[in-house]
């Protein structure tokens, strides 16, 4: 979608030049870091425009910036990173710079580091008694026997820093496990083997500032066991979404998600959980969760965007800041 990064994101009915009614001057301007060409961004530009309309009523102007704008980051009051984050690209540098400038920032650098590694996440969850699927760390092919005995087949094998389901595969028997593990161990010193827990959906609970923000089901892609199906060619298949209000969401799902997110920090997280008759299991905590208008906000509606704005405002208005 065409986006001129110099453009403000004016609310509908405005003059399109960022003009505001003089009666409600913006107290703050927040930057959203976006890549207009990203195929699967965490928020579409249209969703950020929607947020801008709501934020404007709260005295906040939202302005998109891109990776070229690091030098002018300090001109803004806060930063919301809405590109897919990585600790090895500019998104991490933006997060660091914002923090150094004392700006409230989502995602903050520490959350990015903590969420990026599934080995660390798994151990952090286990240490804090957050339920996770039975897991065996694989440091070499000699660990495979233990994984097979402990977890049975099929099991799920993961590369620690994968995302979008790319480094998460199912192994049906020992031969498959050995072949895949041998291949992946060439690039990664550690792998994760996990008991396969099939469900028809993943719970995705958004948590902001240690409080639940939204809950949805991400449904599995057609005839697949994951919510994204990367095929040999063409666009990946994605499953749909089912809407819930937080009130309708089982309390133990919400509570487990909140507990998991609080282990990471007080920013914005998307917690993935599997609900089974044996209880709920946290699959992962994502920094940089998807947040789109008409999707993740379909249960809690505008409250999602209002609270997002408030999260930043509370930090900006803190006494002694």
Give the residues lining the site for ligand ADP (CB under 6 A). 133, 156, 158, 162-165, 168, 194-198, 202, 226-227, 272, 283-284
Q: Output 203 or 311, the one with its CB closest to Mg ion.
A: 203
* 184-219 burial: b if 16+ Cβ within 10 Å, else e: bbeebebbbbbbbeeeebbbbbbbbbeebbbbbbbe
Give least dist CB 182 to Mg ion, A: 24
What is the torsion angle, in degrees rounded to the nearest 10, for the CA atoms of residue 171, residue 174, residue 175 and residue 180?
A: 50
**What residue 197 binds from ligand ADP, Mg ion, none (CB within 5 to 8 A, per partner kind)?**
ligand ADP
Q: Output 52 or 285, the one with its CB closest to Mg ion.
A: 285
**What residue 307 binds from ligand ADP, Mg ion, none (CB within 5 to 8 A, per partner kind)?**
none
Q: Binding pattern to Mg ion, positions 262-291, x when CB under 5 A?
A: ----------------------x-------
**What residue 14 binds from Mg ion, ligand ADP, none (CB within 5 to 8 A, per partner kind)?**
none
Q: Output 267 or 289, the one with its CB closest to Mg ion.
A: 289
Give least dist CB 40 to ligand ADP, A: 12
Instruction: Kindly report the number of other CB atoms within 10 A of residue 52's CB atom.
Output: 23
> Is the Cβ–Cβ distance between 180 and 155 less than 8 Å?
no
Q: What is the CA radius of gyration of the chain?
A: 21
| CA–CA separation, 225 and 227 (whole Å) | 7
What is the torsion angle, in degrees rounded to the nearest 10, for the CA atoms of residue 127, residue 132, residue 134 and residue 139?
A: -60
Cα angle 148-143-190, degrees, rounded to a multiple of 5: 115
| CA–CA separation, 93 and 77 (whole Å) | 17
Give least dist CB 159 to ligand ADP, A: 9
Q: Output 200 or 314, the one with its CB closest to ligand ADP.
A: 200
Give least dist CB 289 to Mg ion, A: 10
65: region left, alpha or beta (phi > 0 left; psi from -120 to 50 alpha): beta
Q: Output 164 or 174, the one with its CB closest to ligand ADP.
A: 164
> Is the Cβ–Cβ distance between 62 and 55 less than 8 Å?
yes
> Is the Cβ–Cβ distance between 305 and 50 less than 8 Å?
yes
Q: Output 33 or 285, the one with its CB closest to ligand ADP.
A: 285
Give least dist CB 277 to ligand ADP, A: 15
Give least dist CB 62 to ligand ADP, A: 28
Give least dist CB 16 to Mg ion, A: 38
Q: Output 284 or 296, the one with its CB closest to Mg ion.
A: 284
**What residue 316 binds from ligand ADP, Mg ion, none (CB within 5 to 8 A, per partner kind)?**
none
Instruction: Kindly report the number of other CB atoms within 10 A of residue 283's CB atom.
Output: 26
Residues near Mg ion (CB under 5 A) are 284
């Amino acid at each position: 979608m065409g986006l001129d990064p110099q453009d403000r994101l004016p609310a509908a009915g405005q003059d399109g030049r960022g003009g505001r009614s003089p009666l409600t001057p913006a107290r703050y301007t927040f930057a959203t870091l976006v890549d207009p060409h990203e195929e699967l961004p965490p928020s579409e530009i249209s969703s950020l425009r929607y947020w801008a309309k709501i934020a404007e009523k709260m005295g906040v102007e939202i302005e998109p910036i891109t990776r070229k704008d690091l030098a002018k980051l300090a001109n803004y009051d806060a930063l919301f990173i809405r590109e897919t984050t990585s600790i090895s690209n500019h998104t991490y540098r933006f997060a660091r710079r914002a923090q150094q400038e004392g700006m409230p920032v989502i995602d903050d650098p520490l959350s990015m580091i903590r969420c990026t590694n599934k080995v660390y996440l798994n151990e952090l969850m286990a240490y804090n008694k957050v339920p996770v699927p039975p897991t065996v760390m694989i440091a070499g092919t000699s660990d495979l026997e233990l994984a097979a005995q402990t977890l049975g087949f099929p099991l799920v094998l993961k590369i620690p820093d994968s995302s979008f389901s790319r480094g998460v595969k199912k192994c049906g028997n020992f031969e498959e496990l050995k072949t895949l593990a041998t291949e992946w161990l060439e690039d990664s010193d550690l792998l994760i083997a996990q008991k396969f827990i099939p469900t028809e959906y993943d719970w995705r609970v958004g948590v902001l500032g240690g409080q639940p923000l939204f809950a949805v089901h991400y449904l599995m892609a057609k005839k697949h066991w994951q919510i994204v199906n990367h095929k040999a060619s063409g666009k990946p298949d994605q499953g749909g979404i089912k809407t819930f209000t937080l009130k309708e969401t089982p309390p133990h799902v919400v509570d487990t998600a909140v507990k998991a997110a609080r282990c990471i920090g007080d920013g914005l997280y998307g917690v993935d959980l599997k609900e089974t008759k044996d209880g709920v299991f946290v699959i992962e905590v994502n920094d940089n969760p998807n947040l789109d208008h008409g999707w993740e906000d379909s249960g809690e509606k505008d409250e999602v965007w209002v609270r997002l704005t408030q999260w930043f405002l509370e930090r900006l208005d803190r006494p002694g800041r």
